[in-house]
């Protein structure tokens, strides 16, 4: 029935399947022939223009299906079957097989014969007998590929928007650590993650070094991250922890040889990581690599600002700044501190006779000797030229004198073993000044006393040490 009119039967041609036959007029009836011809033309056009055409009866069963194969289903096998069998999900917002009004360009998901889904764009209308719906009729085009392209385009635009937003947030920050926190926080929000971290490999069997983290739950996934980071592949890899956390890690190598990885995780029971997630994390990992390299540059600049470029020891400015902090703490704790002021004997003669290259070698060797003679908490600096200094927390002049005596004995032989035979023999002159807690003596005064004691050694023949006996005035 359509609009209260009984449609005449037609043989299944052009891949058309239909159920039932009708015979209401004699064979030679011109009206019947015209109707048959009209309907045949309509179905021919449908078969050529549509990927799927159908009619259903009042019970929602297929009575007409075209073409002969629809989404992998034989049209003949669908006849008499409930149309709802093709729906991917019941209760969907739009059901093309039970329309109540005419609909155009409405999309619905159907099941293919192999179990995959297809997205079709429908034009459909109810079949009426008076005011009663007695079936439906419609045509549809398979837009799965178009829908996929649109989804891919939307996903690409989304990734671009997320990355652009992250970049904008990063530009608001100056320091690399703050930039990294911005990246991690934005990724957690964009991907619905429970947490995120930037990790780096350190020598096994030690655990991974966590450079940055945001969110919660890192401890639960950390044990599984080393093998994921050690993998040669640089593409994002997904895994599930023993507790069920969904983990996604993207390894990355910086220009400075650092092997790091961006890791995100979701709570147990949350959705798996999909391809769009992987693409976004991969794009974010490129930003992470840039920030890590920026961090490395900042660390190197900070190191260069604090250290002597030749020896790697603290420079004068950093040494004095650190001494100020140490003195304030020692006053609070009621402890002494001692300064050793050192100068290489005959260094100028060495430079003149063997050249500045040998002179530089001597300075580097002196720095190595001093490093080996102090505790990890002591400060060692090259103040300039051939002048060096050591500050020892909690040590008095007796401890400092023992250290100075060892340097006096060991340094000349170390120079002789290492420097070329033409080199002038070197030794060290050392001045010692101890600061008493609560004395109020400032750094300039301590430096001056140690310097004067060292020059007394120089005048007395070099290659020895002397303790400043001057009383520091409060």
The CATH code that applies to domain 148-305 is 3.30.450.40
pLDDT at residue number 293: 79
User: What is the rounded CA–CA span in Å between residue 220 and residue 242?
Assistant: 9
pLDDT at residue number 4: 40
137, 157 Cβ separation under 8 angstroms: no
Domain boundaries defined on the chain: 17-142, 148-305, 316-467
User: What is the rounded CA–CA span in Å between residue 104 and residue 162?
Assistant: 34
pLDDT at residue 202 tops 90 = no
More confident residue, 158 or 180: 180
Q: Which residue has the tokens 């019947």?
A: 32
Highest mean pLDDT among 44-48, 145-149, 210-214: 210-214
Summarised one tens digit per residue, pLDDT across range 353-412 is: 888 899 999 999 999 999 999 888 899 999 999 999 999 999 999 999 999 999 999 999
Rg (CA), the chain: 42
123, 151 Cβ separation under 8 angstroms: no
343, 443 Cβ separation under 8 angstroms: no
pLDDT at residue number 242: 85
Question: How many residues comprise the chain?
Answer: 474
Phi/psi at 166 (nearest 5 deg)? -60, -45
CB count in 10 Å sphere of residue 430:
27
pLDDT at residue number 206: 65
Fold of 17-142: Beta-Lactamase (3.30.450)
Fold of 316-467: Alpha-Beta Plaits (3.30.70)
404, 411 Cβ separation under 8 angstroms: no
Highest mean pLDDT among 73-87, 135-149, 293-307: 73-87
HEC assignment per residue over 402-417? HHHHHHHHHHHHHHHH
Summarised one tens digit per residue, pLDDT across range 38-59 is: 666 666 666 666 889 999 999 9
Identify any residues that bridge with 382 across adjacent strands, giving them in sequence order. 388
pLDDT at residue 104 tops 60 = yes
- Span 16-44, average pLDDT: 61
pLDDT at residue number 40: 65
Band (37; pLDDT cuts 50, 70, 90)? low
Strand pairing report for 69-70 and 73-74: antiparallel
pLDDT at residue number 159: 65
User: What is the rounded CA–CA span in Å between residue 250 and residue 473?
Assistant: 62
pLDDT at residue number 1: 37
pLDDT at residue 10 tops 90 = no
Band (21; pLDDT cuts 50, 70, 90)? very low
In this chain, the answer to whether the domains covering 17-142 and 148-305 adopt an identical fold is yes
DSSP for residue 2:
B
- For residue 388, give the nearest of 416, 418, 368 by alpha carbon: 368
- For residue 286, give the nearest of 174, 159, 193 by alpha carbon: 159
pTM for this entry: 0.47
271, 221 Cβ separation under 8 angstroms: no
């Amino acid at each position: 029935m359509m609009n209260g009119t009984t449609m005449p039967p037609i043989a299944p041609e052009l891949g058309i399947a239909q159920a039932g036959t009708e015979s209401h007029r004699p064979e030679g009836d011109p009206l019947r022939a015209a109707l048959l011809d009209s309907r045949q033309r309509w179905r021919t056009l449908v078969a050529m223009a549509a990927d799927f055409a159908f009619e259903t009866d009042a019970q929602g069963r297929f009575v007409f299906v075209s073409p002969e194969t629809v989404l992998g289903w034989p049209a003949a096998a669908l006849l008499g079957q409930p149309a709802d069998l093709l729906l991917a999900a019941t209760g969907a917002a739009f059901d093309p097989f039970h329309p109540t009004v005419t609909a155009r360009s409405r999309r619905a998901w159907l099941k293919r014969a192999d179990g995959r889904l297809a997205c079709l764009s429908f034009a459909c209308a109810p079949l009426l007998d008076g005011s009663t719906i007695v079936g439906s009729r419609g045509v549809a085009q398979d837009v799965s590929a178009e829908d996929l392209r649109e989804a891919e385009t939307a996903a690409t635009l989304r990734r671009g928007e997320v990355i652009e937003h992250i970049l904008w947030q990063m530009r608001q920050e100056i320091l690399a650590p703050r930039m990294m926190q911005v990246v991690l926080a934005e990724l957690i929000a964009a991907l619905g993650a429970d947490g995120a971290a930037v990790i780096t490999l350190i020598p096994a069997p030690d655990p991974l070094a966590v450079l940055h983290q945001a969110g919660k739950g890192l401890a639960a996934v950390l044990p599984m991250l080393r093998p994921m980071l050690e993998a040669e592949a640089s593409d994002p890899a997904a895994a599930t922890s023993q507790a069920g956390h969904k983990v996604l890690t993207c390894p990355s190598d910086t220009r400075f040889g650092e092997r790091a990885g961006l890791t995100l995780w979701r709570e147990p029971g949350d959705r798996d990581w999909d391809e769009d997630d992987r693409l976004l994390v991969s794009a974010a990992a490129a930003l992470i690599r840039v920030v890590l390299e920026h961090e490395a540059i900042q660390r190197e600049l900070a190191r260069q600002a604090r250290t002597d470029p030749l020896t790697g020891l603290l420079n004068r400015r950093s040494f004095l700044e650190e001494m100020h902090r140490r003195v304030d703490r020692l006053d609070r704790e009621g402890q002494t501190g001692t300064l050793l002021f050192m100068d290489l004997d005959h260094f100028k003669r060495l430079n003149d006779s063997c050249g500045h290259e040998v002179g530089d070698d001597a300075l580097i060797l002196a720095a190595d000797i001093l490093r080996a003679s102090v505790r990890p908490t002591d400060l060692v600096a090259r103040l300039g030229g051939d002048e060096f200094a050591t500050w020892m927390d909690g040590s008095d002049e007796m401890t400092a004198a023992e250290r100075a005596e060892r340097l006096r004995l060991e340094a000349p032989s170390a120079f002789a073993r290492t420097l070329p035979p033409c080199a002038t023999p070197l030794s060290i002159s050392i001045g010692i000044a101890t600061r008493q807690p609560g004395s109020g003596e400032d750094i300039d005064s301590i430096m001056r006393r140690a310097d004067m004691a060292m020059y007394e050694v120089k005048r007395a023949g070099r290659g020895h040490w002397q303790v400043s006996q001057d009383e520091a005035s409060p």
